[in-house]
Amino acid sequence: MKIAFLGIGLMGDPMARRLLAAGHQVTAWNRTHAKAQALTGAGAQAVADLAEAVRDAQIVISMLEAGPTVASVLQQAMPSLAPHALWIDMSSTQQAEAQTFHQQLTAQGCRFIDAPVSGGVGGAAAGTLAIMAGGSAGDFSEAEPVLSAMGRATLVGPAGSGQVAKLCNQLIVGATINIVAEAMLLAQAAGADPAAMRAAIRGGFAESKILEVHGQRMLDRQFVAGGKVSTQLKDQRNILAAAEAAGIVLPLTELVTARYQTLAQTIPQADHSAALIGLEQLNPGQRVGTVPDRFD
């Protein structure tokens, strides 16, 4: 399959490498061309011109920072798209943005799937991402063999539904990180060993990937960004926008959003597990562990 991959960042680089390892022809494009060039050793063709990158591609995959960036790149690329090309946007955007991309591409005779992911850089490198897809069954059937090189893809509904599923994922992630932080600080403040508490409850009903991964990061005070505070805040705001559009109220998500909004004022580039730091700031004199915080 001839694929144009747009956006060679922390996630895009390992995702594109998985496609190359699966035998696909990948043309890589990034606004900072050096990032695309880093894939040439793995077999990709790095192209500096966006129009050239998408020309003749059967599938275009975008992995960009946010909806406005996707919209800008899409507008620039559309005149050069091949007839009936399938655009798969794996970025995290708003549902309404994904639906607009679908309408724009359909009007030009092309097709669209929104397919945001969860699993982080580690999942991207291992090819184990959870991929939530929105689009038609026929388009998903065509895309699935490509998506399977990067992880496990599930069709969850029409265009825009993939973004809804990703927002549900981020809703759970954002809230659970904060709950794990509260458990860590409670254990510390009440005289228990937070690490031993975490070990004791592993395997019970409180077990989760968040407790496993982010709980350890909190114990290690390791806040080097995997998922950034700023990115989590963007997702939280998108969740609330989707809730408003659906006519529902999400009171806990509103609280979590407020916590990340406060944290983003001081350490926006830290890992979102730095929610622990924000909690400690609400409780002067209380701190989990004794090692210094790490941000790089």
| pLDDT tens column, 107-152 | 999 999 999 999 888 899 999 999 999 999 999 999 999 999 999 9
Predicted TM-score of the model (pTM): 0.85
d(CA 115, CA 113): 6
If phi over 0 gives left and psi between -120 and 50 gives alpha, with beta otherwise, what is residue 88?
A: beta
> Cβ(264)–Cβ(236) under 8 Å?
no
Q: What's the token pair of residue 223? A: 């806040």
- Given 2, 35, 166, 209, the catalytic residue: 166
d(CA 70, CA 97): 9
- Fill in the DSSP letter of residue 222: B
Active site residue 166: yes
Q: Domains in the chain and their CATH numbers?
A: 2-157 (3.40.50.720), 164-282 (1.10.1040.10)
Q: What confidence category does residue 226 fall into, taking pLDDT thresholds of 50, 70 and 90?
A: confident
